[in-house]
Chain A
């Protein structure tokens, strides 16, 4: 089994249109920037997930109407 720290939440900024539903679903992982687009924890496009993060990460993926978020590994 893969250890949970290999898992990541990944944003495709080309698909994202910044309505921010993901931030409500995963407030510990995602903030919104001044233009209303998701700022991923730690910067960049990918958040490495600890076991505690997984539930919010999954909620964020499910909340996104543009399918701009996905989980990796």
Chain B
């Protein structure tokens, strides 16, 4: 099913041909969001950035925290940030969408900003991304509207795309989570800030055209619409596909050309997501509740099949080492806890495994989740805990001093090189 990428090319003309122009959006009236809010609520749209949070609730929260005055003062006027950072290394859906349908995202930004009473909006794409140029061209050819849209390029660090870090970057130039308040209360430069994923905004542009009922006419009723999925790993044709939510995982794998080797396990949601056994994954549908019931996480809508001659524990080891290095180094349980998890996992991934390390992991996994200023440590803990469960047979093999794979196997899961950061010294500092 194709809703988001109907345009035959990235230009405004090619965009307007299939979609038509964005209908005029009602502005915000004092303490009430514009009327589009009713359609957003009817649509049941939930955010596609990883949390799947009901979008209309966030819109109202931003309006509420800037309300209460007859005129919205300049310092309380809300700000919109479109999150096109795509920090998950195994995700490519946002880049594909930004390249194919930049004007749909920009339409969504315009409609969202108008609805919450924002006149400034920022589109954040990580520094060095290949899609930046195309987005600049798209911005340049749009007639100026009521919303000033600025392209910003924060550093390509995993936590830089977390919403409070992103708000902080737009406000103060540092992509670090800094304040426990949620950005809708105190975001960029202290102003109420609405952060939405770029895919969420593209869906919103369609809701503005066709209404909430149309949007909810496909997909799982609890999280309706279509969703982009990045399918990768041991499949014949990895890539991004758009499907109604609730599509069977089996069908997603078939659409990606089928598995190229017996599947040992499946990563759902990304490096902040969950591992599932192949059987559990094949019994699930691609929507938040079905995946959760099967032990998975829809998260950033990543489906990665691990199969063939690879050691899943070594794959996990490399990912966790990278994730530990992505800590912003502000909170103890994150900056000390994640490297400890990484060391323990490493001792389990090599054979013979250190069984004391396995015991330590058990304790330490409980010590990092829920104790950071953002959810980064929670994601790493979930990745490790679900992985050890899914690959318990492999763990047992390692404990006996063997491994089911030849040790020279190249890594399948993408791990950005640490050198990428050294090439961008400013980015190392989150500036």
Q: List residues of A whose CB falls within 8 A of some B CB.
A: 10, 12-14, 16-18, 33-37, 39, 43-45
Contact = CB atoms under 8 A, between A and B. Distances in A.
Given A13-B332, A13-B373, A16-B332, A34 B177 contact: no
Contacts of A13: 330-334, 371-373
Nearest to B374: A14
Given A35-B336, A35-B337, A16 B367 contact: no
Contacts of B337: 35
A43 B369 CA distance: 9
A16 B331 CA distance: 7
B160 to A, nearest CB: 15
Residue among B332, B337, B370, B373 with the highest chain A CB neighbour number at 10 A? B332
Contact of A14 (B336, B340, B367, B373): B373
Interface string B330-369: 1111101100100000000000000000000000001100
B6 interface: no
B373 A12 contact: yes
Interface string B176-209: 0111100000000000000000000000000000
Contacts of A33: 332-333, 367
Interface SS majority for chain B = loop
Contacts of B336: 35, 37
A19 B330 CA distance: 14
Contacts of B180: 10, 12, 14, 45
23 contacts: A13-B330, A13-B331, A13-B332, A13-B371, A13-B372, A13-B373, A14-B177, A14-B178, A14-B179, A14-B330, A16-B332, A33-B367, A34-B367, A35-B336, A35-B340, A37-B331, A37-B333, A37-B336, A39-B371, A43-B370, A44-B370, A44-B371, A45-B370
A11 to B, nearest CB: 8
Contacts of B177: 14
A35 B333 contact: yes
Interface in B360-415: 366-367, 370-373
Contacts of B366: 43
A43 B371 CA distance: 8
Contacts of A45: 180, 370-371
Q: Number of contact residues on B: which range applies? A: 10 to 19
A35 to B, nearest CB: 4
A20 B178 CA distance: 21
Contacts of A17: 332
A67 to B, nearest CB: 12
A10 B370 CA distance: 13
Nearest to A35: B336
Interface string B235-258: 000000000000000000000000
Contacts of A43: 366, 370-371
Q: 6 closest A-B pairs (Cβ-Cβ)? A: A37-B332, A14-B373, A13-B331, A35-B336, A44-B370, A18-B332
A38 B177 CA distance: 20
Residue among A10, A14, A16, A37 with the highest chain B CB neighbour number at 10 A? A14
B22 to A, nearest CB: 39
A13 B332 CA distance: 7
A17 B331 CA distance: 8
A9 B132 CA distance: 44
A13 B334 CA distance: 10
A4 to B, nearest CB: 23
A36 B337 CA distance: 11
Residue among B179, B340, B366, B373 with the highest chain A CB neighbour number at 10 A? B373
Given A13-B331, A14-B331, 16 more contacts: A12-B373, A13-B330, A13-B333, A13-B371, A13-B372, A14-B177, A14-B180, A14-B373, A16-B332, A33-B333, A33-B367, A35-B332, A39-B367, A43-B370, A44-B371, A45-B370
Nearest to A70: B180
Interface string B92-126: 00000000000000000000000000000000000
